[in-house]
Amino acid sequence: MSIGSRIKEKREAIGMTQEELAAALGVSKGAVGNYESGSSYPKIDNMIQLFRVLKTDANFIFQDEATQKEVELSLKEQRVIKKYRKLDSYGIDAVDSVLDVEYTRCTDFIKSIPATWTICYRKYEISAGAENILNSYEHMERIDVLDTPTARRADYGLMISGNSMEPTYHDGDIVLVKQADSVEVGEVGIFVVDGDGYIKKFGGDHLISLNDDCAPISLHEYKHVKCCGKVIGVAQVAE
């Protein structure tokens, strides 16, 4: 497979459209089409960003090119080799020294990029109609978070609004949620109570805020109580 085919394969594997990839890279949809057709390739900055967005690395994207490029050199590469072969020992040492330094700089920079994982999330609204919002994937946004086992287990993320779950969960945190119809006593979940949404610790017959200043919610006072998921952690948003 070609480099373009690998880019397309990875893009489709994570369910991303050409438009979404283009937006993430800051290029046009046509540019992404050219990458995938092999008409052109991303510049180094865009290539590094492409690795981040597609959750991949150079080993995957260039795996089919490694052996081919040993015999299929570009004209520029051929000219460089011809010039290199005409150098004396001093010139060869000088070129090798610069090449080693630049190779190390570039490869170390790529290795230093933390792996990321893309999740869908929405801002958490404690408001009427929350049940319809939580049961739909409409209006969700994508966000890159650090790639961890917990992030990969999450079905979606919710951005918290308010301080009722401090000091563990803060206003603006994106909690990672695993879809579930129920949680165990003592576990934190996402609940809809008579149409209003909450993130709370389940207490059996009441919902508990971690902030002592917030009173618990007695479930006996409400007609409709539904668990929409279990909170399994807090996402670390990739910079």
Whole-structure pTM value? 0.52
Q: Is the peptide bond before 167 cis (omega within 30 degrees of 0)?
A: yes
How many CB atoms are closer than 10 A to CB 127?
A: 11
Residues 122 and 104 in one domain: no
The CATH number of the domain where 222 resides is what? Answer: 2.10.109.10
Per-residue pLDDT tens, the chain, 239 aa: give them.
678 888 999 999 999 999 999 888 888 888 888 888 887 777 766 777 888 888 887 777 776 654 444 446 678 888 888 888 888 888 888 888 888 887 777 666 555 556 667 666 666 544 333 444 455 445 567 788 888 888 888 888 888 888 889 999 998 888 999 988 999 999 999 988 887 888 999 999 999 999 999 999 999 888 888 898 899 999 988 76
Q: At 96, list the tokens.
A: 């090798």
| Domain-ending residue, one of 111, 133, 158 | 111
Secondary structure E strands in the chain = 116-123, 141-146, 156-159, 174-178, 188-193, 196-202, 206-208, 217-218, 225-234
Q: How many Å apart are CA 16 and CA 163, to the nearest integer?
A: 34
- Domain span at 9: 3-111
